[in-house]
Amino acid sequence: MYSIVFGNRILRESLGLVPAKSPAAQLLQLGKNIARLRSRAQRTQEEVAEQIGVSSRYYQSVEAGRYFPSLPVLMALRAALKCTWDELFRSL
């Protein structure tokens, strides 16, 4: 008898071994990731919002998981927070 360990989340989901996260849960996780990376960079929400060209209110909503940022905003966030795509989307 062979035992198979699936490390790839997408493969596990496609085989029905792990339920996919809901879109709401994914938004919350993305917001948490962004907040963690901003904290690591020792920046305020206002500083990051200004640097990436969005309002403070919009940026706060992204961190709170209410909005999913557009690709240009994600690219600006990645540059401003000096992080990788993997760090930004970890655990989604």
Task: Tell me the domains of the chain and their CATH numbers.
Answer: 21-88 (1.10.260.40)
The conformational region for residue 61 under phi > 0 = left, psi -120 to 50 = alpha, else beta, is alpha
What mean pLDDT do residues 78-84 have?
A: 97
Task: State the amino acid at position 30 in one-letter form.
Answer: L
- Maximal CA-CA distance, the chain: 58
Q: What predicted TM-score, i.e. pTM, was given to this entire model?
A: 0.77
pLDDT greater at residue 18 or residue 40? 40
Q: Give the number of other Cβ atoms within 10 Å of residue 31's Cβ.
A: 20
Q: Give the number of other Cβ atoms within 10 Å of residue 37's Cβ.
A: 21
CA–CA gap between residue 87 and residue 84 (Å, rounded):
5
Do the Cβ atoms of 88 and 74 come closer than 8 Å?
yes
> What pLDDT is stored for residue 23 in this prediction?
87
Please write the tens of the pLDDT for every residue from 21-48: 888 999 999 999 999 999 999 999 999 9
Tokens 């963690």 appear where? 36
